[in-house]
Amino acid sequence: MSETMPSTMRDRAYQIYLDFLETAENKRRWNIFNDVPWERLDSGKATDQVGDRVEIFCTEELYVPDYSSKALDLTRSVFGMAWFQTCWAFEESRHGLVFREYLTRSGLRSPAQFEALETGTFSKEWKLPFQTIRQMTCYGALQESATFTAYNQQRNKARDAGDQVLEAIFLFVGRDEAAHAGFYRDMLQLELIHNREETLADLAYVLSNFKMPGDGLIPDYRRRLASSGAGISPRVFLARVVWPLLSTLEISREEMKGAMKKHAPVTVSNARAEISV
């Protein structure tokens, strides 16, 4: 299933990954045991609704084995992208762990409840929503940015509620997601230089068929997003994810609308009612 890529693009992908890794190692690394202020955990601020939101985020992170194995299979011939996937898997695994620790340390979920959650999660398998490196790069740029937006909203909610532990958690995981989105944006810029028309076609196709990883895997996903306040609306998705991405890539709205009309049967205005991580 792995794809090939021109040598000049492979070299550039390697440099993009090195830049990503250097920033991660020098500026972004955080320690789940020492940097999260667990000593300030106040179970009185950990409401049932907070637990429902964090559980959705945690459940989606539990599919990291599927995300990483399938992405590695797709990108294994492109060193920079394959090694990014290994780094990505490590960082995402910490997100699932820190959410789990918050749920259990706060008393929102018992060990037995979490064991049941894991059993239900691992009984299903996530599959690649798109089949090429470039399409999955488009997906990654959108999905990671949407995840950052959702986490940033949750950080603000935790700050307003005075939950310093959850505020710190969403700061750290959100910062990772922003960096992941940045890697995919850089790769998309490379794709646009190499073949603009085909990249626009893929971006239009992915955008028209976009949904978050938990949609179709997590029971009652959309209803739970709406009731818990974990998701972001289509308007927010457009304003904080789609339009900034197009601006960064120097794709005009007119150019994108033309690509959507030509290559995508569904318009972005028909996006999901709620989008989470």
pLDDT one-digit tens code per residue, 4-63: 788 889 999 999 999 999 999 999 999 999 999 999 999 888 888 999 999 999 999 999
pLDDT tens digits, 106-147 = 999 999 999 999 999 999 999 999 999 999 999 999 999 999
Out of 14-28, 59-73, 253-267, least confident range: 253-267
Alpha-carbon span 19 to 189, nearest angstrom: 15
SS3 call for 163: coil
Establish if 33 belongs to a structural domain: no
Question: Which residues lie closer than 8 Å to 147 by C-beta, 6 or more apart?
Answer: 177, 181, 277
Establish if 35 belongs to a structural domain: no
Domain range spanning residue 147?
7-21+44-270
Establish if 76 belongs to a structural domain: yes
Alpha-carbon span 231 to 276, nearest angstrom: 4
State the pLDDT confidence band at 229, using cuts at 50, 70 and 90: confident
Domain count for the chain, please give it.
1
Q: What is the mean pLDDT of the chain?
A: 92
Establish if 36 belongs to a structural domain: no
pLDDT tens digits, 190-199 = 999 999 999 9
Question: What CATH number has the domain bearing residue 70?
Answer: 1.10.620.20
Establish if 37 belongs to a structural domain: no
Average pLDDT over residues 71-77: 95
